[in-house]
Amino acid sequence: MFQEPLLKFVAFALLCTSISNALDNGLARTPPMGWLTWERFHCNQNCKKNPKTCISENLMMDMADRMAADGYRDAGYEYVNLDDCWSAKERDAEGRLQGDLERFPSGMKALADYIHSRGLKFGIYGDYGTKTCSGFPGSWGHFELDAQTFADWGVDMLKLDSCSSNITTYSKGYPEMTRALNATGRPILFNCKWPNELRHYGMKINYTLIAEYCNTWRAYMDIHETWSSVLSIIDYFILSQDAMIPVSRPGSFNDPDMLVVGDNGLTVNQSQAHFAMWSILAAPLLMANDLRNISTQSREILLNKEVIAVNQDPLGAMGKLVLRIGSAVDVWVKPLSEKQQSAIVFLNRLPSPTTVSVSLQQLAVKCFDKCFLRDIIQHTNIGYRETGKPYDYWIPGTGALMFHVQP
């Protein structure tokens, strides 16, 4: 007569074990969107010389204010994230991480509360190893304590880097932090650096395993504010797309690194192409710029709701390179959740504008005999196109066309 309760207990125990050992936080159902300190502000700690651009609570509050007031929050950007160089050089007397007392005098909990009061979420940076990449305390040997500290502060997202660490222990260490985060009871979106380090050492990457423990994961090197950097990341995704595409889904996404739209290194065409490609890849959209000083054109690119909708499509599918035309043009197709709908990006790598002739049938786009195309960068209807008939498409130099396709 005790058999049924015993079976229920065993089932409950197995469920708890599964939850504690794998990532099951219900987060990142679509790629996370937000803002991040690193590429624009790096490790600037000199607040006396650079009070507006040093890594500080004032910088974070300024960005939270801009995200709330200037339309970014309403467009879906919700995480306000610290990268490296926020912490004190030493842990406190109880062994806990602490913010730099001069640059974060109000404390990390107060900063999180401020960001939350703006209807936004707070993200923070840690490191899997003994030290962060800039020499601040890492989490090695402190996974449980650090996870609970982050939860106590009200952290909503953790980026865990991998400097000063042992490559042979990653498959053990990253899951340890996953378990520690789960044990806090607070949903914390988990971004890992795991695959990029494996790539750096020439080791095989098991994306299926990584997707069990991380919501998002950095796949390649840090982005820089140059067109060549953007292309190098895209090229790596091309080489790895067969392994990456199967694990891109609600809860787990490949991360090509930050958006540098609004910085100084890209032209308008390149910025549009960068944003279109990150959206077709179902990538996290984490801006790395100064929202207090951004051009109208850059702001319009980042707030393009039609392109964002492709990125945030609930299917969570990563787009695929389906056609390369010469050395200049790549054509990417991303399936969308609505039946027979998709998104297409024509990416022109070279400085000169070019015209290509291609049929939708060549791109394996399925909408019977004809499709309706809308240019979602320029917000104009292109009209119906017969699937088997070639049409000419003009693409700006180092730029992109992006279409929403439906029957």
pLDDT above 90: residue 16: no
pLDDT at 20: 47
pLDDT at 339: 92
Does one domain contain both 300 and 331?
no
Which of these three, 311, 333, 366, is where a domain ends? 311
CA angle, corner 84, sides to 78 and 87, nearest 5?
100
- Name the residue range of residue 148's domain: 19-311
- Running DSSP on this structure, what letter comes out for residue 341? -
Q: Give the mean pLDDT of 130-142.
A: 96
- With beta carbons less than 8 A apart as the criterion, state whether 160 and 126 touch: yes
Does one domain contain both 170 and 122?
yes
Q: What is the pLDDT confidence band of residue 12, given thresholds at 50, 70 and 90?
A: very low
Q: Is residue 252 part of a domain?
A: yes
Does one domain contain both 347 and 208?
no
Q: Is residue 4 part of a domain?
A: no
pLDDT at 21: 63
Between 287 and 4, whose confidence is greater?
A: 287
- Running DSSP on this structure, what letter comes out for residue 363? G
Return the top range by mean pLDDT from 5-14, 115-124, 166-175, 204-213: 115-124
Residue identified by tokens 């197995």 is: 14
pLDDT above 70: residue 57: yes
pLDDT at 201: 75
Range in 4-8, 137-141, 275-279, 372-376 the model is least confident about: 4-8
Does one domain contain both 205 and 347?
no
**Hey, which residues does 287 pair with through a beta bridge?**
35, 259
Q: What is the pLDDT confidence band of residue 192, given thresholds at 50, 70 and 90?
A: very high
Does one domain contain both 57 and 197?
yes
Q: Give the Cα separation of 236 and 401 in Å (integer).
A: 21
Domain count, the chain: 2
Domain of 152: which CATH number? 3.20.20.70
Does one domain contain both 375 and 274?
no
Range in 156-165, 303-312, 369-378 the model is least confident about: 156-165
Does one domain contain both 149 and 269?
yes
Instruction: Kindly report the backbone phi and psi dihedral angles of residue 361, in degrees, each rounded to the nearest multiple of 5, phi listed first.
Output: -60, -35
Does one domain contain both 118 and 182?
yes
Q: Which of 74, 222, 235, 369 is catalytic?
A: 222
Q: What Å distances lie between residue 259 and 77, 157, 229, 251, CA to CA?
A: 12, 17, 12, 20
Q: Is 255 labeled as catalytic in the residue annotation?
A: no
Residue 368 contacts by C-beta under 8 Å, 6 or more apart in sequence? 340, 387, 407
Between 271 and 4, whose confidence is greater?
A: 271
Across the beta sheet with 285-287, the strand order is: 253-255, 216-218, 189-192, 157-161, 121-127, 79-81, 33-36, 285-287
Burial of 38 (0-12, 13-18, 19+ CB in 10 A): buried
pLDDT digit string, tens, across residues 73-93:
999 999 999 999 999 999 999
pLDDT digit string, tens, across residues 252-261:
999 999 999 9
Instruction: Kindly report the backbone phi and psi dihedral angles of residue 115, in degrees, each rounded to the nearest multiple of 5, phi listed first.
Output: -65, -40
Does one domain contain both 32 and 155?
yes
Does one domain contain both 304 and 326?
no
- With beta carbons less than 8 A apart as the criterion, state whether 218 and 255 touch: yes
Domain of 393: which CATH number? 2.60.40.1180
Q: What is the pLDDT confidence band of residue 165, given thresholds at 50, 70 and 90?
A: confident
Which of these three, 311, 343, 366, is where a domain ends? 311
- With beta carbons less than 8 A apart as the criterion, state whether 161 and 127 touch: yes
pLDDT above 70: residue 11: no
pLDDT at 255: 98
Q: Is residue 124 part of a domain?
A: yes
Q: What is the pLDDT confidence band of residue 69, given thresholds at 50, 70 and 90?
A: very high
- With beta carbons less than 8 A apart as the criterion, state whether 254 and 318 touch: yes
Q: Where are the beta strands (DSSP E) in 1-90?
A: 33-36, 79-81
Q: Is residue 130 part of a domain?
A: yes
Does one domain contain both 377 and 265?
no
Q: What are the start-end ranges of the H helices in 22-99? A: 38-41, 57-69, 72-75
pLDDT above 70: residue 208: yes
pLDDT above 70: residue 315: yes
Q: Is 84 labeled as catalytic in the residue annotation?
A: no
Q: Which of 146, 156, 161, 290 is catalytic?
A: 161
pLDDT at 93: 97
Residue 294 contacts by C-beta under 8 Å, 6 or more apart in sequence? 262
pLDDT at 168: 76
Does one domain contain both 282 and 340?
no
Range in 74-88, 201-215, 226-240, 325-339 the model is least confident about: 201-215
pLDDT at 42: 98
Q: Is residue 186 part of a domain?
A: yes
Which of these three, 264, 286, 311, is where a domain ends? 311
Q: Is residue 6 part of a domain?
A: no
pLDDT above 90: residue 15: no
Between 43 and 5, whose confidence is greater?
A: 43
Q: Is residue 14 part of a domain?
A: no
Q: Give the Cα separation of 157 and 266 in Å (integer).
A: 28
pLDDT above 60: residue 223: yes
pLDDT at 22: 73
